[in-house]
Amino acid sequence: MARILAALAAGILFGLGLALGGMTDPAVVLGFLDIAGAWNPSLAFVMGAGVVITFFGYRLTMARGRPLLAPNFQLPTRKDIDPALVGGAAIFGVGWGLAGYCPGAAVSSAVSGSLDVFALLAAMLVGMAIVRFARR
């Protein structure tokens, strides 16, 4: 139960960070991608802050030797770049650019009740189900 509550708290903190940073507004994201027009650099600052916090957070966490709520860390071991990784990154980027939402911001924006957000979340879930089915 503690792990579920910790995951919920982390998700809420992440969602609040996205909302406070303005990343739940697709106009902010699309403004960042509009380099030749009315460019909005705020997404770069939010990403930069996330990278800095993650840099120091990983060092502090890994220095502990083990996580608080698990017997050991579960870190990825693969280092190769395969077509699935490239394809998934491309689909993510195109979807983000077209909709103005990354998956985290879309979930955070669901509280707005916007039909656009729910359509995006439904399409995202269908896409995830298709990939799972195709891998089997």
Burial class (CB in 10 A: 0-12, 13-18, 19+), 87: exposed
Span 43-82, pLDDT tens digits: 899 889 989 999 999 999 999 889 989 899 998 899 999 9
pLDDT of residue 98: 86
Query: Whole-prediction pTM value?
Result: 0.72
Report the alpha-carbon distance of residue 45 to residue 116 in Å, rounded. 26
Q: For the chain, how far is it from start to end, CA to CA, in angstroms?
A: 31
Q: Tokens 């439904």 — which residue? A: 122
Domain residue extents for the chain: 2-135
Rounded CA gap, 5 and 11, in Å?
10
Q: What number is the average pLDDT over the span 29-50?
A: 88
Q: Which two tokens stand for residue 130?
A: 């298709």
pLDDT tens profile 1-12: 889 999 999 999
Q: What pLDDT was estimated at residue 56?
A: 96
